[in-house]
Amino acid sequence: MFYREAGQFKTSYKADQALMPILQDRVGLTVILLIAFVAIPAFANDFFLTSIMIPFLVFSLAAIGLNVLTGFCGQLSLGTGAFMGVGAYAAYKLTTIFPDANVIVMVLLSGIFSAAIGAVFGLPSLRIKGLYLAVTTLAAQFFLEWCFIRIPWLYNYNASGAIEVPHREAFGVVVSGAEATPIVRYFIVLCITVAIAYLMANVLRGRIGRSWMMIRDMDIAAELMGIRPLQTKLMAFAVSSYICGVAGAMMVFFWLNAAEPSSYSISLSFQILFMVILGGLGSLGGAFMGAAFIWILPVFLKFIPGTLGIDVAAETVEHVTFMIVGALIIFFLIVEPHGFARLWQIGKQKLRVWPFPY
Amino acid sequence: MLYDIFIDPFVQMYDMPDFFLQVLWEGFVAGILYALIALGFVLIFKASGVFNFAQGIMVVFAGLTLVGLNENGIPAYLALALTIVAMGVLAYGVERVVMRPLVNQPDIILLMATIGLTYFLIGFGEFVFGGEPKQMITEQLGLPTGSTAIEMGERGLIILQHIDIAAAVIAVIMVTALGIFFNKTRIGRALRAVADDHQAALSVGISLNQIWAIVWFAAGLVALATGIMWGARSDVSFALEIVAFKALPVLILGGFTSIPGAIVGGLIIGFGEKIGELYWGGLVGGGIESWLAYIIALIFLLFRPQGLFGERIIERI
Amino acid sequence: MNAFVTDKTLAPAGELEPAEREELLRVDNVSLSFGGVKAITDISFDILKGEIRAIIGPNGAGKTSMLNVINGFYHPQEGTITWRGKVRRKMKPYEAASQGIARTFQNVALFKGMTTLDNIMSGRSLKMHRNFFWQVLWRGPAENEEIEHRRKVEDIIDFLEIQAIRKTPVGRLPYGLQKRVELGRALAMEPELLLLDEPMAGMNLEEKEDMSRFIVDVNQEFGTTIALIEHDMGVVMDLSDRVVVLDYGKKIADGPPEEVQASQAVIDAYLGVSH
């Protein structure tokens, strides 16, 4: 009733294979983009931008990156955190070496380094499959984390062992460092995330996206149809790591201002993996939904006791948050193992046939 | 440089045999503990095809419960009994709340559910017992403490911690008992049937729910034993969780379903890690223990993708 | 051999006499074993251009293994395979695919997470070349390429009469339709040699009739050479030009259907014989 494509006829293949063939979807997306680009900057306060929107977008991008690898190409990865770290450290080194260059360009370039490293760790995927592959990515995770600690060159021999984002300007505005305003950071993060999401949507609907899904669904059949498994998987590893790397660089440059090796630990990998699974494997929209759930929920939980006027120790809140998040993960897996993306589809179907049950 | 990598470590091993033996012993003990964690994984994987990520946290949880109860004035043995009861309750709860609704879901979903369980247990454990590390009640439980030094003639001496010896003995007993349980009993056969195919097992009248509860309970007991042993060597704390990841390369070496595989895999990783760290780690600045296990497993995998004890995979279509 | 640009100037290969046809594929003395188990022992036969060649035999006779050898999934320990006059060495499955060997599977091996349309489009993978950077941009070359191939795929969808399920995820389709989609996917590769592994297993009579019709049409209209494994003897005898019979990994008969039907070795293999 509310969501009906009746009467929307496609007269060309071009129209039929558009990203959003249905009018209602296009309207919906436009509204979301308007909110993101106009309404939020106009009305949101700094806290909302820095603590909710910027991390949400960064994590969404990382979740898209992991989704390319795990959701679309079917290769389980537990090394996302480290690949994000590679992006962060690469961006940091690049801005040190080229202090005058535009920092946004450096952030985008830093992904190339993590793509290269991701591809190297993707090499064993030709012989190793499934859960066994998890050990490869765990090796990447722990090895890279070790590198972040043990190679002082990476953090410019700082005594603290952490990387601190330098003050940089681009287009006459301060974009990074402590003085950068939340609104500027927000716009940069938003633009990069939206742009990469759009470009990935293009890749995923074409030949390359299909070849990834072929490998995911039935690798043997894919090979018998002319897909080169190694090339295809390596490409997925590289693209995924590129996106994760950019997300990692954004994380330190536009959100945290400083990062330690432990910022990119295995728990970050798991966090991103949760976002992907709960959002829905193999769905770009799901990556955003998953990121929203995993990031925003704990933030809200932290404020519940305060608003209810109950005095609870911060530690206790954190412990309870852990419990609630864990329980909710199990709950959602039971309710809908295919994630929010599937729930959303079911919802759309319901809207289509309303007021009839089916 | 080449000398440092290829020759010097072996010269050192020859020159200081006492140190080398001590390293081997350390590796052996670490290996036994890895193997114990891996054993818990194998149990659950064998019986449900679930890769139970929460096994590591169950170890911590069991240890914490035991110590926590004791701190509240409950005598050690009673606390032990109560902890066993707690693991039983946990097993039943997991079966009821997590496994039963998720039957027949893809592996990755079940894996995720156990990671969710991990989060829950971390939160719950810290909530109830606090997050700070605790001392294991080794003496109260009647476990041996102290150490023996074995002299090697004129070439130095090796120190063996009694608790480590006890750990090795307990590990051997547990593995034997589990082996008998799996291969000789009716429930053992049912377990293996469930592992092969849930639906087929159901169709011949095996109760999945009962089997799962049993197997999670068994894994809980293994976790408790591991928790005690591990806690006695260091502290009982959530830092153990990161060590539990090492069970993954162990499992991969040994195969997900093989109990002897878990032991051998654990020992290989234990030895490899200690020897690598102490003889080669210095060349790159140390601390390579954190990732060496994975690299060892990776190298093995590249040559034998099915693991050490797995059967050769013939792909069929 | 572009099936859907329909090269009608050539006489349909099916009408030529066997002797006039050129040889497309030869298998010489091929043996394959897994560990100690011999799957195929010393088998030789040929497949001529434009024919429908059936491979039959009781269960476990090594038929599927034979197909796996032909498209490079298994590598035989002994023997050679000659493809279009050239002896080929160890060939990877994707190389076989790029040289025009397509395949359907005994247990449907569709890409379960994708729609019918995407599954058949996936058969075009080898013919699409726009690289990553064009794909990222989409507008322009990548989109045009996609549309061009979509046309061909729509022709196949029309041919197989599966228009209605175009956008349905294949996991939800009934078995018979899945088999049909799988045939479509193989056809999208515009193969020279099409290997069909039990295309009619588990189908009812009507579905079998439909499938037989598609197979004959593919062979006669597009001149595609077909090698098929099938258990339904009626279908095999009606469709095929020549039949090779395997039993316990050995070849026991080879020839036109009538001849094979009359062979004592074949009767023994199927009915059993007291030794």
A326 at interface of B, judged by CB pairs closer than 8 A: yes
If you count residue pairs, one on A and one on C, with CB atoms under 8 Å apart, how many are there?
107
* C64 chain-B contacts, CB cut-off 8 A: 317
| Co-location of C88 and C127 in the same domain | no
Q: Which domains does chain A have, with CATH numbers?
A: 48-353 (1.10.3470)
C107 burial via Cβ count (<10 Å: 0-12, 13-18, 19+): exposed
CA dist., res. A290 & res. A266, Å (int): 18
Q: Could you tell me the pLDDT band of residue A120, with boundaries at 50, 70 and 90?
A: very high
Which pLDDT does position A88 carry in this prediction?
95
Most confident of A180-189, B180-189, C19-28: A180-189
A230 at interface of B, judged by CB pairs closer than 8 A: no
Q: Which residue has the higher pLDDT, B303 or C66?
A: C66
Instruction: Say if residue C2's pLDDT is above 60.
Output: no
| Domain positions in chain B | 2-303
| Co-location of C185 and C269 in the same domain | no
| Cβ distance of C107 and B314 shorter than 8 Å | no
Which pLDDT tens digit goes with each residue over B77-94? 888 999 999 999 999 998
Domain B2-303's class? mainly alpha
Residue C242 counted as domain residue: yes
| Co-location of C91 and C210 in the same domain | yes
The pTM score is 0.89
Q: Are C55 and C229 in contact (CB under 8 A)?
A: yes
What distance in Å separates residue A5's CA from the closest CA in chain C? Answer: 14
Nearest to C113 among A202, A213, A235 (CB): A213
| Cβ distance of B317 and C73 shorter than 8 Å | yes
Last residue of a domain, one of C189, C208, C231: C189
| Co-location of C196 and C125 in the same domain | no
| Co-location of C12 and C39 in the same domain | yes
In percent, the amount of chain C with pLDDT more than 90 equals: 44
Which pLDDT tens digit goes with each residue over C145-170? 999 999 999 999 999 999 999 888 99
| E-strand stretches of chain A | 163-164, 168-170, 173-176, 258-259
Nearest to C130 among A12, A207, A213 (CB): A207
Summary mean pLDDT of chain C: 86
| Co-location of C59 and C182 in the same domain | no
| Co-location of C3 and C88 in the same domain | yes
| Cβ distance of C110 and A217 shorter than 8 Å | yes
What distance in Å separates residue B188's CA from the closest CA in chain A? Answer: 25
| Cβ distance of B294 and A145 shorter than 8 Å | no
**Total tally of structural domains belonging to chain C:** 2
Which pLDDT tens digit goes with each residue over C4-54? 444 433 444 445 555 567 889 999 999 998 877 888 999 999 999 999 999
* C147 chain-A contacts, CB cut-off 8 A: 12-14, 17
| Co-location of C34 and C75 in the same domain | yes
Which pLDDT does position C17 carry in this prediction?
57
| Co-location of C182 and C50 in the same domain | no
Residue C28 counted as domain residue: yes
Which pLDDT does position B37 carry in this prediction?
85
Q: Taking residues B180-185, what's their average pLDDT?
A: 82
What distance in Å separates residue B39's CA from the closest CA in chain A? Answer: 17
Which pLDDT tens digit goes with each residue over A92-118? 999 999 988 888 999 999 999 999 999
Which pLDDT does position C11 carry in this prediction?
42
HSE-CB for B146 with a 13 A CA cutoff = 4
CA dist., res. B223 & res. C42, Å (int): 55
User: Could you report the predicted ipTM of this complex, rounded to two decimals?
Assistant: 0.86
Summary mean pLDDT of chain A: 88
Last residue of a domain, one of C189, C215, C234: C189
Q: What is the DSSP letter of A174?
A: E
Residue C106 counted as domain residue: no
Three-state SS annotation for chain B: CHHHHHHHHHHHHHHCHHHHHHHHHHHHHHHHHHHHHHHHHHHHHHHHCCCCCCHHHHHHHHHHHHHHHHHCCCCHHHHHHHHHHHHHHHHHHHHHHHHHHHCCCCHHHHHHHHHHHHHHHHHHHHHHHCCCCECCCCCCCCCCCCEEEEECCCCCEEEEEHHHHHHHHHHHHHHHHHHHHHHHCHHHHHHHHHHHCHHHHHHCCCCHHHHHHHHHHHHHHHHHHHHHHHHHHCCECCCHHHHHCCHHHHHHHHCCCCHHHHHHHHHHHHHHHHHHHHHHHHHHCCCCHHHHHHHHHHHHHHHCCCCCCCCCCCCCC
Residue C105 counted as domain residue: no
| Co-location of C184 and C204 in the same domain | no
| Co-location of C239 and C148 in the same domain | no
Which pLDDT does position A58 carry in this prediction?
96
Which pLDDT does position C12 carry in this prediction?
46
* A146 chain-B contacts, CB cut-off 8 A: 287-288, 290-291
Structural domain range at position C173: 111-189
Which pLDDT tens digit goes with each residue over C192-239? 999 999 998 888 899 999 999 999 999 998 889 999 999 888 888 889
Last residue of a domain, one of C189, C212, C234: C189
Which pLDDT tens digit goes with each residue over B219-267? 899 899 888 888 887 777 777 777 777 888 888 888 777 778 888 888 8
What distance in Å separates residue C65's CA from the closest CA in chain B? Answer: 9
C64 at interface of B, judged by CB pairs closer than 8 A: yes
A208 at interface of C, judged by CB pairs closer than 8 A: yes
B26-55: b (≥16 Cβ within 10 Å) or e: bbbbbbbbbbbbbbbbbbbbbbbbbbbbbb
Which pLDDT tens digit goes with each residue over B9-35? 777 777 777 788 888 888 888 888 888
Q: Are A184 and A255 in contact (CB under 8 A)?
A: no
| Co-location of C84 and C2 in the same domain | yes
Instruction: Say if residue C176's pLDDT is above 70.
Output: yes
Q: Are B52 and B41 in contact (CB under 8 A)?
A: yes
| Cβ distance of A225 and C138 shorter than 8 Å | no
